[in-house]
Amino acid sequence: MPTDAISVLLVEDDEDDYLIMSQLLKEARQSFRVEWHQTLGDGIASLSDNTFDVVILDLTLPDSSGWETFTTMREQAPSLPVILMTGLEDNDLAVQAVHEGAQDYLVKGSVGTDVMVRAIQYAIERKATEADLRRYQDHLEELVHIRTHELEQTNAKLTGEITVRKQTEQSLRQAISQLEEHDRAKTQFVTNVSHELKTPLASMSYAVDNLLKGVMG
């Protein structure tokens, strides 16, 4: 249990309800510092000058009524845990309140000191846990973003290497095709030259043979 006083912003227009809740918190073993305002506007204005650990908010106030009271407070103090207080027991509203971000929903006149203290402590702890989860989620999203960027870079590099490899293979195939064509052309040239020289060489050989025979004879 915290040793420092828990700072509570109580927005409640009924002074009797304020006195009851103040008395409940005075009877607790935990120390509480309560700042009381009777309108939503005054309660929100106090946020700029004070640091609170939790807000206890009545849904029906002189300047605001119903669900709008909570949504307005949540917009002005998104990091503060909010406990809703109402004079009506409405399970559907309680479920909606928690679903929409309220830390708890209490009915006036039905809670004692222990319940009130547990509700406040739970609200603070739950809000802190939510903040930790959001930070963890943000961290994971950042890691995913970084990893995605790295994978995109790697993929782009691999794509470039594959493109270069395909271009190199194509160049090699073209070079081999050209060499084969040159080899075929050389073979054809040698064949043609051999064929064209065959008759003249035969004639020359015949003439040389006759010449040699004449000289020797």
Residue 3: pLDDT over 60? no
The 10s digit of each residue's pLDDT in 148-204 is: 888 888 888 888 888 888 888 888 888 888 888 888 888 887 777 677 666 776 677
Confidence of residue 217 (pLDDT cuts 50, 70, 90): low
The 10s digit of each residue's pLDDT in 18-48 is: 999 899 999 988 899 999 999 999 999 999 8
Percent of the chain with pLDDT over 90: 28
Q: What's residue 132's pLDDT?
A: 74
The 10s digit of each residue's pLDDT in 90-139 is: 667 767 777 788 888 888 888 889 988 998 988 888 887 877 777 887 88
DSSP state letters, 107-145: ETTS--HHHHHHHHHHHHHHHHHHHHHHHHHHHHHHHHH
